[in-house]
Structures are given as C-alpha cells and as structure tokens.
C-alpha cells in the first residue's frame, strides 16, 4: 500500500479514540488482540519490552525511558498515542518516525490476518499496535517502550511481557469506561503488572496505591514506589527547564537538567529513572551519564510546550482532566511572567469540564472557547460557556481552532500569555497552525 492507501485502510476500522462513549469491556478484547498477534507469529515476543500505564504523564515517562536507553547505545522503539500531527508519530525508533513506506508495507502483511478475523474484526488501535510490534521486530530493536492507550488491563498493548512496568499518576479520567472511583481506575491500570515482575509507581493517592500494592502482592511483583523507595527533590525551576536530584535504588543522580517544564515532569523523570534501574535486576545496566544525557535531551511536544516566545508568548499543553489542569495552572503561575493570560480551551465531551474550568478559569483574563475537528467527541463551545463562573469573565466563542488562535493573538498584548489546552486534539491542531517543521497527514 502507499501511505495514503494505508491511511484509508486504517480509517475503515472502528476508532474508539474518536468516540465519546462506548462499552469498554465489550469493545476492548484482549483475546482478539492475542488472536491477531498469533496469526502474525507473535511479534510482540521478539523484543524486550517496557510497559507504561497511568492517567497523567505516561507519554512523557515513556519518551524519557526511550531517551535514556537510546543515549546508552540501545536501539529503542517507542509506541505512544494519540498523535498530534501524523499517525507516524506513534511508532518511532531512536526518535525517527516510522517511514510512510514501512507503514504501508507492514499493513500489506497485516491485511491477510485481519481478513481472517471478519467474525471479530480488530479495531484501529489494535491494528496499529500490532503494526508497531512487527516494525520493532523487523528492525531488530534492543528494547521497545509501550504506552497504554486506555486503562491497561484490556489495552491492546497488554499482550507484552515486560521486563519492567511503570504506573504514572492516577486520577479521574475516562470514568465512563474505567470506573468512577480511584480504586476502579487503579485496578484497570494495574492490569499491566505481570507475575514475578517489577512495577515502578509514581506517588499515588491512598486509594489507588492500595490497589497497586494488592495486585503486586497477588502477582509476586516487586513494587518500587517513588517517594518511598526512590527519592527526588527539585532544586530550581524556570521557563527554561527543571534542575533536580534523584536518589534511586542503586545510584544517586545530582543536578539533573531537563528541558521539559513543570514539577510533574520531575516526578515523571524519577519514575523513568526507576524503570531504568529496575532493568538492572534483569541484567541490563545503564550508566549514570546515559541517564543524565537522556533526561537532558528529552522533549515531548504539546506538554507545556512554548511554541512562540514573545509578542505574545504561546504555550500548548494537553491537560485533559482536573488533576492535569491543576498541575498546569500551578506550573504557569510558577514558571512564567506575563501581563494577562488568554486561555484557548476546547475539550472532549467525556472529560470533567467542570473540574478543568475550576482550575483554569481563575488564572485566565480572557477565555476563548473552541472545538477540535473530531466532531463526535468535541464539546460544543456554547455548552462550555454555560458552565463558566463567574459570568463576568470575558468569554469569546469561536468556530474552530484556527479562529480561536487568530482571536487570541489579536487580543493579546506583547507581554501577555496565550495558553492553548483542554484536549490533545485541540493542541495538535494548534501546533499544525503554529509550528511548521513537522510532518502532517
């Protein structure tokens, strides 16, 4: 297939990322994913794997792990979702996106197996996940880092047997699918923990931690908890990056410098270092210098990303629930100096919009509401407006992301700050408008 034919083929299948609600237990079937992998020779078993789940920070943590391993000289695959501009972003090896040619040729291979499954057809995400497995196997990577798509227990990535798994911060999100309590959500995330394995966890609320501890006990897995077994402290923070120390299982890492912004990224980096040290228990040793280089060089678009430095400064961040909006608001106040803040906000229907507004409205002088082009999931800006308090807030409703960006720039003075957030779909579209040096589908 050509790349365009490949995109057309993929778009034939059910894409749950574009739906605002569905039955999680009926739509996500691990047996179906195992069958698809089996028809293709179980490519997921050919590469040493690291598996990352969580509500917040799992993509950032995954790319940090990949960056450290790459700097240690290992050929390392990375599988993440969703993408901001191109499907190819989801599958990369040592920072190189999968090529259009490789994507098309691998789909040619997969198609025959998919045709055999017409009685229980796989989803878009399942097909794309097995595509990653095949690509990493064919390229003989040393390690592959997999970020879960949704949850963990039933996620298409959960057919791997990782050397180490990680669970990043757990908070309320996708409650219609994963459950309406932290315990239920944590149970789904902890579904990636395998028997006799190692699990590295970020600090968690007590309800979530108790579930993770219980699963680790049941599966005879060793739990390494950041804040208890691995210590860290932030030394300084600015709009240029973070400086921090980590005291891990085997080594102490002083004065680590990271370009990624926000205290929450220091936590994610500590989890990543915990995973790297956990590999030592499987006979894989990574030097301190590789950790330092990996953390120091890592970037991850759309996460407190400054895409324009002045007149006005513009920041993109995919904060999609109350907890991530709180972390975003704290980071903006702490790291940036500005006159007025113009908030460009668009959210998906299934998100906690009231929780997001509670954190972001108080820091905003003007709120510009918009929606992504994913019509089925995007919440109507007028409906968001109805939830904003106080009613005296300056609110502008726009028809799409481009209109919102244009109005924000017109509204902002030279010393003001424009913050685009609420949905990675919105952030991806905003990035397409504001950043020109990237690939687009």
The total number of structural domains that make up the chain: 2
Residue 141 near residue 98 (C-beta atoms within 8 A): no
pLDDT at 28 over 90: no
Q: State the average pLDDT over residues 38-43.
A: 98
pLDDT value, residue 22: 64
Nearest one of 147, 38, 47, 173 to 90, comparing CA atoms? 147
Asked if 276 and 133 sit in the same domain, the reply is: yes
Residue 49 near residue 144 (C-beta atoms within 8 A): yes
Asked if 243 and 358 sit in the same domain, the reply is: no
pLDDT at 24 over 80: no
Assign residue 337 the CATH number of its domain: 3.90.190.20
Which helix (DSSP H) or strand (DSSP E) does residue 8 occupy? helix 3-10
Residues 9 and 389: their CA atoms lie apart, in Å, by 45
Asked if 154 and 41 sit in the same domain, the reply is: yes
Task: Please list the residues that pair with 53 across neighbouring strands.
Answer: 167
| 178-234 residue pLDDT tens | 888 999 999 999 999 999 999 999 999 999 999 999 999 999 999 999 999 999 999
Residue found by looking up tokens 């020779």 in the block: 41
Asked if 289 and 332 sit in the same domain, the reply is: no
Asked if 214 and 255 sit in the same domain, the reply is: yes
Asked if 283 and 393 sit in the same domain, the reply is: no
What the block records as the tokens of 158 is 């959960």
Task: Report the chain's mean pLDDT, rounded to a whole number.
Answer: 94
Residue 408's pLDDT band, with cuts at 50, 70 and 90, is very high
Which range (164-178, 304-318, 331-345) has the least confidence? Answer: 164-178
Residue 212 near residue 236 (C-beta atoms within 8 A): no
Residue 429 falls within a domain, yes or no?
Answer: yes
Residue 441 falls within a domain, yes or no?
Answer: no
Residue 335 falls within a domain, yes or no?
Answer: yes
**Per-residue buried b or exposed e for 251-284, using 16+ beta carbons within 10 Å of the residue's own CB:** eebeebebebbbbbbbbbbbbbbbbbbbbbeeeb
Asked if 225 and 258 sit in the same domain, the reply is: yes
Q: Please say which residue of 247, 271, 297 terminates a domain.
A: 297
Asked if 107 and 242 sit in the same domain, the reply is: yes
Asked if 262 and 409 sit in the same domain, the reply is: no
Q: Which residue has the higher pLDDT, 375 or 45?
A: 45
pLDDT value, residue 120: 92
Residue 148 near residue 192 (C-beta atoms within 8 A): yes
Report CA torsion sign: 406, 60, 93, 4: negative
Residue 440's pLDDT band, with cuts at 50, 70 and 90, is confident
Q: Which residue has the higher pLDDT, 170 or 374?
A: 170
Asked if 291 and 312 sit in the same domain, the reply is: no
pLDDT at 16 over 70: yes
Residue 438's pLDDT band, with cuts at 50, 70 and 90, is low
Domain that holds residue 98: 3-297
Residues 431 and 86: their CA atoms lie apart, in Å, by 12
Max distance between CA atoms of the chain, in angstroms, equals 61
Asked if 23 and 111 sit in the same domain, the reply is: yes
As separate numbers, helices (DSSP H) first and strands (DSSP E) second, the chain gives 16, 17
Residue 332 falls within a domain, yes or no?
Answer: yes
Q: Please say which residue of 297, 331, 354 terminates a domain.
A: 297
Assign residue 66 the CATH number of its domain: 3.40.1190.10
What the block records as the tokens of 240 is 């240029």
pLDDT at 361 over 90: yes
Residue 440 falls within a domain, yes or no?
Answer: no
pLDDT value, residue 374: 83
Q: Please say which residue of 297, 324, 342 terminates a domain.
A: 297
In a 13 Å sphere around the CA of 57, the CA atoms on its Cβ side amount to 31
Residues 356 and 29: their CA atoms lie apart, in Å, by 31
pLDDT at 342 over 80: yes
Residue 290 falls within a domain, yes or no?
Answer: yes
| 413-427 residue pLDDT tens | 999 999 999 989 999
Integer-rounded Cα Rg, in Å, for the chain is: 21
**Per-residue buried b or exposed e for 5-16, using 16+ beta carbons within 10 Å of the residue's own CB:** ebbebbeebeeb
Residue 314 falls within a domain, yes or no?
Answer: yes
Residue 144's pLDDT band, with cuts at 50, 70 and 90, is very high
| 249-282 residue pLDDT tens | 999 999 999 999 999 999 999 999 999 999 998 8
pLDDT at 21 over 70: no
């Amino acid at each position: 297939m050509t790349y365009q034919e490949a995109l057309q083929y993929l778009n034939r299948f059910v894409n749950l990322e574009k739906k605002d609600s569905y039955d999680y237990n009926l739509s996500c079937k691990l047996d179906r994913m195992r069958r698809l992998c089996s028809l293709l020779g179980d490519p997921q078993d050919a590469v040493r794997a690291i598996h990352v789940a969580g509500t917040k920070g799992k993509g950032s943590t995954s790319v940090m792990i990949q960056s450290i391993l790459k700097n240690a000289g290992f050929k390392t695959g990375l599988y993440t979702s969703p993408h901001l501009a191109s499907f190819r972003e989801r599958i990369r090896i040592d920072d190189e996106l999968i090529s259009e040619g490789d994507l098309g040729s691998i789909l040619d291979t997969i198609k025959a197996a998919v045709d055999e499954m017409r009685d229980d057809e796989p989803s878009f995400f399942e097909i794309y996940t097995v595509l990653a497995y095949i690509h990493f196997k064919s390229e003989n990577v040393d390690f592959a880092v997999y970020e879960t798509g949704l949850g963990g227990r039933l996620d298409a990535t959960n057919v791997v047997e990782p050397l180490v798994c990680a669970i990043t911060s757990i908070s309320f999100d996708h409650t219609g699918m994963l459950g309406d309590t932290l315990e239920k959500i944590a149970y789904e995330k902890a579904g990636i923990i395998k028997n006799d394995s190692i699990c590295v966890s970020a600090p968690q609320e007590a309800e979530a931690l108790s579930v993770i501890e219980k699963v680790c006990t049941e599966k005879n897995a060793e739990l390494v908890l950041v804040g208890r077994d691995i210590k860290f402290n932030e030394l300084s923070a600015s709009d240029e990056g973070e400086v921090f120390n980590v005291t891990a299982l085997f080594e102490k890492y002083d004065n680590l410098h990271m370009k990624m912004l926000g205290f929450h990224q220091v936590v994610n980096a500590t989890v990543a270092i915990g995973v790297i040290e956990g590999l030592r228990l499987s006979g894989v040793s990574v030097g301190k210098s590789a950790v330092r280089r990996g953390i120091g060089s890592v970037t991850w678009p759309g996460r407190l990303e400054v895409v324009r430095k002045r007149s006005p400064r513009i920041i993109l961040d995919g904060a999609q629930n109350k907890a991530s909006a709180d972390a975003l608001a704290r980071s903006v106040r702490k790291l940036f100096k500005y006159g007025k803040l113009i908030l460009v906000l668009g959210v998906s229907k299934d998100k906690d919009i009231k929780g997001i507004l509670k954190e972001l409205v108080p820091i905003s002088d003007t709120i510009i509401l918009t929606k992504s082009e994913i019509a089925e999931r995007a919440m109507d800006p007028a409906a968001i407006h109805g939830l904003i308090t106080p009613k005296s807030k300056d609110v502008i409703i726009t028809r799409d992301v481009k209109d919102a960006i244009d109005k924000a720039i017109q509204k902002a003075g030279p010393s003001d700050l424009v913050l685009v957030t609420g949905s990675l779909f919105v952030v991806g579209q905003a990035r397409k408008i504001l950043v020109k040096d990237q690939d687009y589908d």
